[in-house]
């Protein structure tokens, strides 16, 4: 892609979208490990209400909370964040393509 095209089409994802990407990944890993949201919330020491808000992308994930979640899901935090990064890039690319097609 040419540099001028990149500068013409800037695509950003709002923080809520990032929260949703993180929540989706957590949900998938919980399903894989057969862990319910309620059980995860109890194991990491947060209320079910806060967990529901996280699931809906309404609150930011703190790094210590993510670390606790990763411990329960038996996934290293750095690997989890790499998965989030890849999904973010895919989502950004998809939005870039859609915006280019619409214009």
pLDDT higher than threshold 80 for residue 91: no
Determine the pLDDT at residue 60. 86
**What pLDDT sits at residue 100?**
57
For residue 103, is it within any domain?
Answer: no
pLDDT digits (tens, 9 = 90+) for 35-85: 999 999 999 999 999 999 999 888 888 899 999 999 999 999 999 999 998
Specify if 50 maps to a domain: yes
- Indicate whether 19 pLDDT > 80: yes
Pairs from 49-53 (Cβ < 8 Å, separation ≥ 24) = none
Give the structural domain span for 83: 3-97
Domain count for the chain, please give it: 1
Tell me how many degrees the CA angle 59-60-62 measures, rounded to the nearest 5. Answer: 130
Residue 57's pLDDT is 86
Q: Which comes out higher in pLDDT, residue 88 or 91?
A: 88
Average pLDDT over residues 4-10: 41
Residue 60, in any domain of the structure: yes
Q: Is residue 11 part of a domain?
A: yes
Classify each residue of 61-95 as buried b or exposed e, where b means 16 or more C-beta atoms within 10 Å of its C-beta. Answer: beeebbebbbebbebeeeebeeebeebeeebeeee
**Which CATH number belongs to the domain containing residue 90 in this structure?**
1.10.260.40
Residues 6+ apart with CB under 8 A from 53: 59
Asked if residue 102 belongs to a domain, the reply is: no
Do 54 and 61 touch, CB atoms closer than 8 A? yes
Is the model more confident about 93 or about 87?
Answer: 87
Choose between 11 and 99: higher pLDDT. Answer: 99
């Amino acid at each position: 892609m040419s540099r001028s095209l990149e500068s013409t089409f800037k695509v950003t994802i709002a923080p809520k979208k990032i929260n949703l990407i993180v929540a989706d990944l957590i949900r998938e890993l919980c399903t894989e490990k057969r862990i319910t949201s309620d059980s995860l919330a109890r194991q990491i020491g947060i209320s079910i209400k806060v967990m529901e808000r996280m699931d809906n992308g309404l609150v930011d994930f703190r790094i210590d909370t993510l670390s606790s979640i990763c411990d329960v899901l038996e996934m290293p935090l750095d690997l989890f964040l790499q998965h989030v990064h890849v999904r973010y890039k895919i989502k950004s690319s998809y939005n870039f393509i859609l915006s280019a097609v619409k214009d």
